[in-house]
Amino acid sequence: MNLKSLLLRRSIEILVVFGIIMTGLFLLFHAAPGDPISMMVDLTMTPEDVERMVAQLGLDQPIWIQYLYYIKNFFTGNFGTSFHYGRPVIEIISERLPNTILLFTTATILAAMAGVWLGKIIAWYKGKAIDTWTTIFALVCNTLFLPWISLLFIWFFAYWVGWFPLSGMMTPEIWVNPEAGFFAKAVDVLHHMLLPLLTLFIVNTGSYLLIMRSSMLETIKEDYILTARAKGLSEKQVRNRHAAPNALLPVVTSVGLSLAFSVNGGALTETVFSWPGIGRELIFAVSNSDYPLAMASFLFIALVVLVANLIVDILYAYLDPRISY
């Protein structure tokens, strides 16, 4: 099967999956007890007030009409208005999603590079003490309970040592200062990013290291490595020029997928670090019954995951001609 038809087939599949997710999500939110209006525990809110609000928000219409509106709105790019913000949902998402992508893309890429580099070297020392201990260390890093270690890091690095800001993404003092230029602001955001980045880096590097190491060990057994050695190339050359490039494949897949899934576990990281990303917003929206916002955030997250999957598949097929679908 060639690349084109693969692309076509996967795209159709993704559309179907997305449609199912959309519908499922809608049904889920409608089956759930509680509505955003009755959430308001304000004694001044009378039953008449609630009725009026529900009617004006269109929440009293039959479910299928609401569903049609939902589908129509989605395809016209109108995700409705958030109940609590009173702003178009799309606006809120377009503010939050880039923050999430900025943090997690940087973390994943840095971790992948470090992991590849370390894994490549470690594989060469297979069976030696350094290999065993590095593997164990990587495993330990990889299984650290993320929110817990994040909190410890906040306490240690941000509070005790004081190297980093406690949380958030900006230092208001710098941003309200009219003299602060673009550079100062960029530096400020970076400064805030360092601690979450460090945490994610430590946890993720371990996993990339392990994948790279395993993959390298597989590759080393191949004939062409023997050939390369026989040609009299130095060990370093064999490792870097012949083994490593071929061992990269699983890492590439993993990078793609974990990028996609970073939004998943990212909700935890963002909550702990108060990073104004989409995962945190989703949790907030759901627990406050802000349906339009919650549904749209979830759909965007699902979309990111689906597209990332598609890209990984294509990349995989492109990089490894042996794979056919």
Tell me the torsion sign for CA atoms 56, 289, 81, 28. negative
Among 7, 71, 101, 174, binds other proteins (CB under 8 A): 174
**Cβ distance to other proteins smaller for residue 21 or 71:** 21
* Contacts to other proteins from residues 191-230, by CB under 8 A: 191, 194, 207, 210-211, 214-215, 217-218
Helix, coil or strand: residue 127: coil
Integer Cα distance of 89 and 297 in angstroms: 9
- Binding region for other proteins (CB under 8 A) out of 59-67, 162-170, 222-230, 231-239: 162-170
Nearest distance from C-beta of residue 183 to other proteins, angstroms: 8
65: exposed, middle or buried (C-beta count within 10 Å: 0-12, 13-18, 19+)? exposed
- Helix pair 291-319, 278-287: axis angle to 10 deg: 140
* Contacts to other proteins from residues 31-50, by CB under 8 A: 32-36, 38-50
Helices within 36-88 (DSSP H only): 47-56, 63-75
Amino acid present at 67 = Y
Nearest distance from C-beta of residue 199 to other proteins, angstroms: 13
x/- string (CB under 8 A) for other proteins, residues 79-118? --x--xxxx----x--xx--x---------xx--x--xx-
- Helix pair 244-273, 146-153: axis angle to 10 deg: 70
Among 107, 272, 296, 317, binds other proteins (CB under 8 A): 272
Nearest distance from C-beta of residue 37 to other proteins, angstroms: 8
* Contacts to other proteins from residues 118-137, by CB under 8 A: 132, 135-136
142: contact with other proteins by CB under 8 A: yes
- Binding region for other proteins (CB under 8 A) out of 61-69, 70-78, 144-152, 231-239: 144-152
Pair 299, 21: CB distance under 8 Å = yes
Residue 107 makes CB contacts below 8 A (sequence gap 6+) with 196, 197, 200, 201, 204, 262
* Contacts to other proteins from residues 59-78, by CB under 8 A: none
**Cβ distance to other proteins smaller for residue 62 or 178:** 178
The neighbouring-strand residues paired with 88 are: 81
* Contacts to other proteins from residues 275-314, by CB under 8 A: 276, 279-280, 282-284, 286-287, 289, 294, 298, 301-302, 305-306, 309
